[in-house]
Structure 1
Amino acid sequence: MSLNKFTIRLLTIFLLLTILLLSTGYSQTRSKIQGTVKDVQTGEVLFGANVVLLDTYLGAATDVHGKYFIINVPIGTYKVQATMIGYNKKVVTEVIVSADKVTTVDFELSSAIIQSEEVIVTAQRNTLNTEVSNTITVITAEQLENTTGMREISSFLEKQPGVSTENGFLQIRGGSSDQTGTFVNGMAYNNAAVGNAETSIPLSSIEQVSLLSGGFNAEYGNFRSGLINITTKSGSKDKYKGTISISRNAPLVKRFGPLMNDPYSPALRPYLDPSLAFYGTDNTWKNTDPYLYQQHDRFDGWIPAANTFNQTNPKFRASAMDYYYLASWMHMALPDYEGLSKLPDSVKTAIGYYELSDEQKKLFKDHAWDEEGTDYNFDVGFGGPFPFISKMLGNLTFYLSHISKETSYIVPVSRKSQKTHVTLLTMKTNPMEALTLTINGLWKRQMGVSPIKPAFGDFPDAAREGGFMTSDNLKYFARLSNLDGGVNYWYTPPMFPLLNQTTLMGGFTLNHVYDARTFSEFAASYLSIKDNAPVGDNRNSSIMTLFGPFPVTEMPYGKWQFAPNNRLTTIVGSDTISYLYPNYDALPGVFRRFRGKEGDLYTNVHTQQQRVKYDLVSQIGDHNYFKAGIEYNRFDIDHKLWMKWNRTGPYNSYEFNYRRTPSTTGAYVQDQISFEGIVANLGIRMDYFYGGGGKWPSGDAFAYAFTSAFGEAPRDPGAATDSFYAALASGRSLIWEKWEEYDKENPGFLQPVKNFMTFSPRLGVSFPVTERAKFYFNYGHFRSNPPYSTMYLIRYRYDKNGLYDMANPNLEPPKTVSYELGATYNFLDNYLVNLSGYYKDITGQNGDVNYKSSSGSVDYELWENNNYQDIQGVEINITKNDNSWITGWVNFNYMLKKSGLTGRAVVSDVTINDDQAGLYSGQESRFLPQPLFNANITFNAPRSLFEDNLLLNALLSGWSTTFFFEWKSGDYFTWNPLNKEHVSSNVQWPTHTMLNMKMSKTFIVRGIGITMFVDVSNLLNNKISLLNKGYAFRRNNVDGGNFTQWNDTKEYLASLRLPMYNSPEYDVLREQNPGKYIAGDDKIGDLRSDSKSYINDPDYSYFIFGQPRDIWFGIKIDF
């Protein structure tokens, strides 16, 4: 190739790189193929045989021992060919190369004297991988397709042993979400501001996923629990391939129980049941049905409410019927027209009964709260040689994929659903045989709802209300009943603010081969995540209709919080009707807030990450596979976030503004030593954690600067208030500016931020016991930054309390010392069993300490390295993945976990109080194990089942049916009505069981695969108990603590006839509480029925059961 052509090629590649660097970049993760070549007749090794990966530049020759090593192999599926003069060549197909695993392919060649055609065989799946000394689960695109409910990668991962989710974020082996990392083509994909691993990419782009849940090698740093390695397709250089998948589900309400706006549902019946609402609960239920009376709110009735109104409004009088319709409208409910029409005439006269017009009924229907939703998923991918210029640019290939999906919330809030769009582009070229350039680009747009409640100053981190509200939003919705008592915020749709997020990533990887056994890789990437929340009032104030003297708009939809009142005026004939709604648009006698406390979330958080990494890899001799590398990560967290709920200025404004630029620098050396079947992975890693520089208010824990008076926020509207809000909106931290001034007058208040350097040894050993079995062991130290939210995020409330929460950038990186012992056995050729036991000793975990002054003016929580954790577990995983008529996997997970405090929980400025408290608080929490069992079994009918009968083959081949079964032991909790000492976690909530099914049929039409499928979640429509979540229990104004201590929960448990009550110890309780604490064979989870009418059910039947049957229909086209 001429120099000019080479120069033009490099310049073109550089131009493409410059353009795409603003998109996402990921390196192509690489691994190794090794094996031995022998003579099939004599068994002797063959020296000088050539082994190549077809359609690549990669290959190697065997040494004097017949061994070969092909390093620098991109993740994927290959054909491997062995040739030697005098022998027939042999090709092994479907050779899968996985991240962090060495693929072994052995050849036995026959002499060319024995004439034969080229020998083609299929590689055996589920090999032992004797070099692997930790727990790795490799997931192929085929496995994803053969699993139920697969519309995002996280859905598959959470079915694996040791993997769970909390607040929608993945956690591995008991570690928090910030301890888990995601790599896409070798590049980090994590949200540093919130503290979670991202997994949103199109499924059509996935080549392979590796889940590392055990101790991993020294090349991986800053994560302590586990890693998710995702490798995407980069396109073929020979032909174009693509896939299109479209699916949607049948409309459904995603829970059992009554609708939220059902007039006879628990929260609405006192106000909207025609037989009850007009005369009130005391007159109707108190003496006739005490059970229903204690299950519902007390209400005097609409007749007294109308009488009270008319006493002060003689011109425009209201009837009880007007109030009934108004209450229905405000609760977004349809009135019970039939029940109203059947009321006695005397009642109709008393309430001023009238029927609505057809137009008003239509308005009611359009206005009603619609919980039924439909989800959809559109996933498309296409790739191959880059059009027109592929050959000119070193066989440039591409793969472009996109996913759009909509997921409805269980309970609609300010948005009914969340929408996500992700586009991913991967390009790869070989300008020279020794050089490979990979370029990637990703764009993501997510539009949903934040779980933050601005009026209450919720914390925006992954452990609490950070990120997006999950589609299963019952946790956040039901929790509203914990605020101010009752369910007064349930019927305020805009209670949760809108949230939009845009992600851009860009990067490249340059892979250079020095010789057949040495290569290097340089990667650089950029990540940008921007949040935005629309703010301001948006309620449409147009009058839609009126009920007597009460005009209504689209209320309670739309936000209108900062208006001093809600006066609606309309003209009816010659009359002008003007009605001023009470505060919060309240209804008389109904404890509700239909507006006014939504608050505004002002977020323009911009998180950026720049990352560079260099690795050198070499196969040294037959026994050493050496790696070394260095990486640098710089984070720029511009955390422009504040909240307000006020009417007269910055009262109830919360500030979370900060900007910090921390970084991590890591270097590692590791060696994989192989000798006579035994493999040892040895390595050490150095990490330097830079805290971002600057200073922090750590010089005086009880400084006046932490009080509410210090903030000096303006209280009244005007120029000062406008200036205050403008400063917060610009990203300025007003409290920080005041602290800097305070430090000038009180030197030492601000102290320099610390940095830390750590060294982490890693050791793993794998040794075969037989040809089919191996044992492995690993030990390692793992360090990671505390979540950046705990390092920099403060919560300061102006004009009330002052400092609530203080971050701590001087937190030392917590340390996890991990041990794992496992065994792998390959039986019947196609079944692979892996058994592993692990122990994690975690120290220096961040926990909060309450600093409280004797005067009460200072009272805040500070993060310190004062927590520990011990996690032990056993995992069993059985897989069969050989493309036969039955494939699948079964796993079992058993984990023990405890955590505790290593210092004081409260520190006072009065030293005698600290002395009395001692050095330690002695808190330790133990979580009893909840065994988890998963099974995913696929039955396949071969595509050529009846080769001789085209009709039968078309009808009966190509079918695939998958069943997924899940069983989980119920949560433990404490039920101790006798108040005995040392009683803890003595009873359990119901177990969880679920059966899903996916059935598909594939047709091949002119080389195009068309697959139609139905995917059913909860096939048997079992009612999945949610009692362990606490959503169904009503909290009254005096209840506190965990929901198991609420009165409604106690009433339910006391009404059950449990075996534990079969003791004379309960005689006193039985005497004091007639009908309760009676022994029997009931189980926790039993509910009231005709045969068990003594059970006092939880008050909120909306949330007793969840996850009803969900049926998806779809079509997938592969070409």
Structure 2
Amino acid sequence: MKIRSILILLLVILFNTADAIGNTGSITGTVKSIEGEPLQGASVVLIGTKIGTATNSKGNFLITNIVHGVYNIRISMIGFKPVVYENIDIRPGSIMSISIEMQLSQLDLEEVVVEASAPIIRRDITGTLHNVGRERIENSPISTLEEIAGLQVGVTRDGYIRGGRRKEVLYLIDGLPVNDLISGGLGSEIPKSSIEQYSLQTGGMEAEFGDALSGVVNITTVTSKEKTIRSFRLKSDSFHGGTERSNEIEGEFSLSGPLSRSKLSYLITSSFNMSDSRWWQDMTLYFNSPINTSASFLSKLVYEVSENKSLSLQGLYALRNWRDYEFSWRFNLDGLPKRSRKSLRTAIFWNHKLSQQTQYSASISRYRINSRIGEGNREDISPEPWQYDFLLRYVTSGSRNWWGLIDQENYNFKLDLQSKLFERHLFKTGANINFFDINSDVVKLEPRMTYFGKPIIDQDLLNYSNRYHYKPRSGSFYIQDKIVSGFDGSTVSLGVRIDFLDPRALRPSIEYVPIGEDEYREDIIDLVPAEIKFSISPRLGFSAPITDRMIMFLSFGQYFQNPLFEQLYSGLSNVQFRFGNNVLRGNPDLEPETTRAIEISFRYRINTETSVSAIYYQKETTNQIDTKTFLPSNSRIAGDYGFAQFVNSPLAQSSGIEFMLSRKSGDWVNGNISYVLSKAKGLSQDEGQGLNYEQWGFEVPKQLYFMSWDQRHTFKGDIIINPTGKLLISLFWELHTGRPYTFYPSDDRSAPVDIEIPFVPNNRRLPGSGVMDIQISREIYTSHKNGSISEQKIRIYFASKNILDAKNVRWVDSSGNIGGELSDPSAYDVGRRSFIGLIIDF
């Protein structure tokens, strides 16, 4: 405990994290003479660094632990002309393979310069990986990390990946997680200018990555060691007036580079966003502008201790304040609670290259998220329901009975090792352990509603409150070997991962004692310790050339994701609530959700810049989390005399085919065009479905049905056009067929029109949707400088989301009416929003 306390103290003092093994890449290659003879002893050096090696007897070389970026390599050998390979793009976790032929020369001072071109199809990654670079992010009309994911093939604009639920994604920043482990999803935003590369893996994840069922987002931050880079960006949608605006202003500043002549380099970035939301015409009647604000700050310090050792420190802070909007509350918006969230991550990372073949990295990090719902104290919340108008459509007075203080803290200790044990084997192994401190105090009382959205005002509010404090632990160990054939470049990736979760909680054992007709008293007769859960995840990947232009890829994996802490601990102690029994209880004995996925693809190289791919995937998820109602009486409402609890049971299946035409680079146009045919079915759409069906008196589905996010046909285009060098146009469009909804009509919002008609979820589909976004930027000033200062540029840009102002339908009520009885405008996607912006690089 004393050692742990010292480590924790170190975390508090230090700003930190670093470029772990997962955020560095490698270069491998073969050096031969023009006659094809391997050259032993050739020197291979990364120009501008002290990193280098020499070829072995077969002419092969490997350089590992290369920080992501673009490099030039010089290959030299007595009696041969030196060769300089330029613009080699090293990406996190990648292995760049090159082949060099050297010419005999009497004067070894002559150089042969070769322009490097990364292979359009990478054989070392056997799954599906989408990379988005800094320039592409800067030139896209996007504001958040989740919007970047929505541009990728197989991902919907609202974040569903290959038919999975939205919360099935792991988010990493410089290799360390930033997920909200209580509510799910992304825990922190970062400035766009701090992103060097955004990687999204939607299939075939290697054993290094766990606790995710559908995808892994790995964000690599900027490292500038050679020159100082300063940048400022500002944009707003308020210059043109009118109603097509959210009164949004967004700005960023970044500064990075080396510190004098020392071995230190740094990164400082910050961003802010202020807006009145799309509902500003209603919101500004109640609140001062800006209504929603957010800010983020990221700093990084890298110290090159020696040629083979480095220390990296990083701090990440994010803040968000906002207010929700509901159309039924538009005449009483100040009755909705104010919300806020703050997050802070600090970390320290040590990287040591033991030899050209072996390196290890170790990191310690602390990540904390603090969320608040409402103002004042818990005692200020009244159990009295808010008031509706005569027709029970609009809320006219009162406040929503929500209040909460939620705090989550994670200390993470991580160790990774990478080594080239044999000629063609790249071996990786690692382990990490997490110490959590989870504290939640929430009051949440909700009116009972019919399925059709009508409040039942003569019944008590449902109590979703909770108060808990637990200190669970989790950890993992993985081992992986990547084998590259020397004959045809085929790659085999084998790995296994072991995860554990220790809830460190006591589960109540409950007995129901009858006290009257259809009435029972709940007695806790014992407290049973929750078991430690272990998961074993095998991973397999394979790639092999079919022809000199076509490569086949195959991957299989079993993936696990631990339950959210809210699902483990919520409502375990009812005695402390003054609002009655809790309607929903956690279950600390929940098993991890499990997905088995297989993917097969064929990728064809048309030329050095263009490729086409066809990918088939199939996924099956078991142990999905839902709710089950335990009722000792004949009541149909959980909470009257019983309760609903999170359980493992539902099944989900998804499959699809993704076709993509990709042009990596070109004289004036590049990008992707894709078509996806997909299907997503399951027994449960969300973890609260069982409780809701019990309230409404519906039977729990026993057959798979289409999920509400199922998009059968999706067409996407993501194109960059650069006709003049100073003018750049970024264009994104998406068309997809309609998503399912449940048609179960009602005349009075109380009961169905025909009670004999069975309830069938998602039995109809919405109209199809289409959207187009565009950004046009123009460079208006350029001034080149010598030395360590980068060139100066001034650019202006115009960006427009949904530039065609398409009226895309998001939802309808059970009778098929867009926006329901109130014609709620939130039934439509956000209309056209246009921005004017300025970027200054100096």
In the superposition, the TM-score normalised over structure 1's length comes to 0.65
Conserved? CA contact 2:502–2:532, under 8 Å? yes
Q: Which residue of 2 aligns with 1:150?
A: 142
Secondary structure of the residue aligned to 2:148 is: helix
The correspondence of residues 26-105 of structure 1 with structure 2, limited to 5 A, is 26-28=18-20, 29-39=23-33, 41-105=34-98
- Contact 2:491-2:544 at 8 Å conserved across structures: yes
Q: How far does the alpha carbon of each residue in 1:378-436 deviate from its partner, in whole angstroms, 9 at most, with x for none?
A: 1111111225xx62xxx011011111112432224465632111110111111122211
Q: 1:800 to 1:643 in 2, by over 3 A?
A: closer
Of the structure 1 ranges 773-782 and 108-117, higher mean CA displacement relative to structure 2 is found in: 108-117
**One-letter code of the match for 1:752?**
P
What is the CA-CA distance between 1:90 and the residue it aligns to? Answer: 2.1
Distance (whole Å) between structure 2 residues aligned to residue 963 and residue 179 of structure 1: 29
User: What CA distance in whole angstroms lies between the structure 1 residues aligned with 2:175 and 2:473?
Assistant: 19
> How far apart are 1:491 and its partner, in Å?
0.8
Unpaired segments ≥5 residues, structure 2:
1-5, 448-459, 692-697, 746-753, 785-790
Q: Structure 1 CA distance, aligned partners of 2:243 and 2:426?
A: 54
State whether residues 1008 and 1118 of structure 1, in contact with CA within 8 Å, keep that contact through their aligned partners in structure 2.
yes
For the pair 1:1115 / 2:838, whether they are aligned, the reply is: yes
SS of match in other structure, 1:398:
strand
The question of 1:1044 aligning with 2:826 is answered: no
Counterpart among 999, 1009, 1033 of residue 793 in structure 2: 1009
The corresponding residue for 1:659 is 469
The residue type paired with residue 833 of structure 1 is: V
Q: Which of the residues 206, 231, 239 maps onto 2:220?
A: 231
Quick one: structure 1 residues 194 and 418, their matched pair in 2 at CA, closer, same or farther if it must change by over 3 Å? same
Q: Secondary structure at the match of 2:26?
A: strand
Does the 8 A contact of 1:708 with 1:798 survive in 2? no
Superposition deviation, residue 54 in structure 1: 1.9
Residue of structure 2 equivalent to 1:1018: 802
What is the distance in 1 between the residues matched to 2:382 and 2:505? 38
Match of 1:396 in 2: 264
1:418 equivalent in structure 2: 292
Name whichever of 848-857 and 409-418 sits farther off: 409-418
Name the counterpart of 2:162.
Answer: 173
Task: For 2:500, give the aligned amino acid.
Answer: Y
Shift of 1:242: 1.6
Equivalent of residue 766 in structure 1, options 503, 524, 543: 543
Q: Helix, strand or coil for the counterpart of 1:871?
A: strand
Which letter does structure 1 place at the counterpart of 2:24? R
Give 1:505's aligned residue.
345
> Where do 1:584-983 residues align within 5 Å?
593-599=395-401, 601-643=402-444, 655-675=465-485, 676=487, 677-691=489-503, 693-700=504-511, 743=524, 746=525, 748=526, 750-794=527-571, 802-854=581-633, 856=635, 857-882=640-665, 884-900=667-683, 922-927=702-707, 929-943=711-725, 958-973=726-741
Q: Counterpart of 1:130 in 2: which secondary structure? A: coil
Q: Call closer, same or farther: CA 1:54–1:216 in 2, change over 3 Å.
A: same
Matched to 1:640, the amino acid is: D
TM alignment of 1:211-222, pairs within 5 A: 211-222=200-211
What SS class does the counterpart of residue 494 from structure 1 fall into? helix
Q: Structure 2 vs 1, CA of residues 708 and 403 (structure 1 numbering), >3 Å: closer, same or farther?
A: farther
- After TM superposition, list the pairs within 5 Å mapping 1:198-597 onto structure 2: 198=187, 200-236=189-225, 238-250=226-238, 373-386=246-259, 391=262, 395-412=263-280, 413=283, 417-449=291-323, 451=324, 477-478=326-327, 480=328, 489-536=329-376, 593-597=395-399
Note if contact 1:71-1:516 (Cα within 8 Å) is conserved in structure 2: yes
CA contact (8 A) 1:382 1:400 kept: yes
Matches of 2:410 and 2:681, distance apart in 1: 34
Shift, 1:16, TM fit: 15
Assess if the C-alpha contact under 8 Å between 2:45 and 2:74 holds in 1: yes
Counterpart amino acid of 1:246? Answer: L
Distance in 2, matches of 1:703 and 1:825, equals: 70
Q: Is the 8 A contact 1:181 1:228 kept in 2?
A: yes
Rounded to whole Å, the distance in 2 between the matches of 1:901 and 1:197 is 23
CA distances 1:506-532 after superposition (whole Å, capped 9, x unpaired): 111111111110011111111011123
Give the distance between the partners of 2:387 and 2:764, measured in 1 at CA. Answer: 44
Between the aligned partners of 2:477 and 2:667, the Cα distance in structure 1 is: 44
Shift of 1:239: 2.5
Contact 2:568 2:590 in 1 (8 A): yes
Question: What is the rounded CA distance, in whole Å, between the counterparts of 1:92 and 1:852 in structure 2?
Answer: 71
Question: Cα–Cα, structure 1 residues 855 and 828, in superposed 2: closer, same or farther, change >3 Å?
Answer: closer
Alignment partner for residue 134 of structure 2, among 141, 145, 153? Answer: 141
- Which whole-Å CA distance do the structure 2 matches of 1:561 and 1:921 have between them? 37
SS at match of 1:605: strand
Measure how far apart 1:799 and its partner are. Answer: 6.4
- Tell me the CA shift for residue 219 of structure 1: 1.3
Q: How many residues align?
A: 780
Q: 1:604 Cα shift?
A: 2.1
Partners of 1:866 and 1:901 within 8 A in 2:
no
| Whole-Å separation in 2 of the counterparts to 1:808 and 1:252 | 53
Tell me by how many angstroms 1:610 deviates.
0.8
Q: State the Cα distance separating 1:24 from its structure 2 match.
A: 5.1
Deviation at 1:175, TM superposition (A): 2.2
CA deviation string 1:616-668 (max 9, x = no partner): 1101222110011111112211112224799xxx9987531111122212111
Q: TM-score w.r.t. structure 2 length?
A: 0.85
SS of residue matched to 1:164: coil
Per the alignment, residue 1091 of structure 1 pairs with none
Q: Partner letter of residue 334 of structure 2?
A: P
Cα gap change, 1:851 to 1:199, in 2 (>3 Å): same
The range that moved more, 586-595 or 490-499, is 586-595
Instruction: Provide the secondary structure at the position in 2 that maps to 1:791.
Output: helix
CA RMSD in angstroms comes to: 3.7
Amino acid at match of 2:661: I
* More off after superposition, 127-136 vs 195-204: 195-204
Is the Cα contact below 8 Å between 2:11 and 2:366 reproduced in 1? no
Q: Matches of 1:381 and 1:670 in 2, distance apart?
A: 37
* Aligned-partner residue type, residue 249 of structure 1: D
Q: Deviations over 1:944-985 (max 9, x none)?
A: xxxxxxxxxxxxxx1112222211111234668998889986
1:234 CA drift (Å): 2.3
- Structure 1 pair 24–443 and aligned structure 2 pair: CA distance change class (3 A): farther
Q: In 2 relative to 1, CA 17–424 (structure 1 residues): closer, same or farther, beyond 3 Å?
A: farther
Kindly provide the amino acid, as one letter, of the partner of residue 203 in structure 1: K
Report the CA distance between 1:995 and its aligned residue.
Answer: 2.2
**In structure 2, distance between residues paired with 1:752 and 1:585:** 43
Structure 1 residue 136 displacement after superposition: 0.7
Q: Deviations over 1:582-627 (max 9, x none)?
A: x98999999754432333x432211101111111110122211001
Q: CA deviation at 1:832?
A: 2.5
* Structure 2 SS opposite 1:144: helix
- Distance in 2 (CA, whole Å) between partners of 1:985 and 1:172 is 20
- The alignment partner of 2:728 has SS state of strand
State how far apart, in whole Å, the 2-side matches of 1:138 and 1:906 are. 38
Greater mean alpha carbon deviation, residues 608-617 or residues 69-78: 69-78
CA deviations on 1:163-197 (whole Å, 9 max, x unpaired) are 2365xxx4422222332111111111111111113
1:469 maps to none
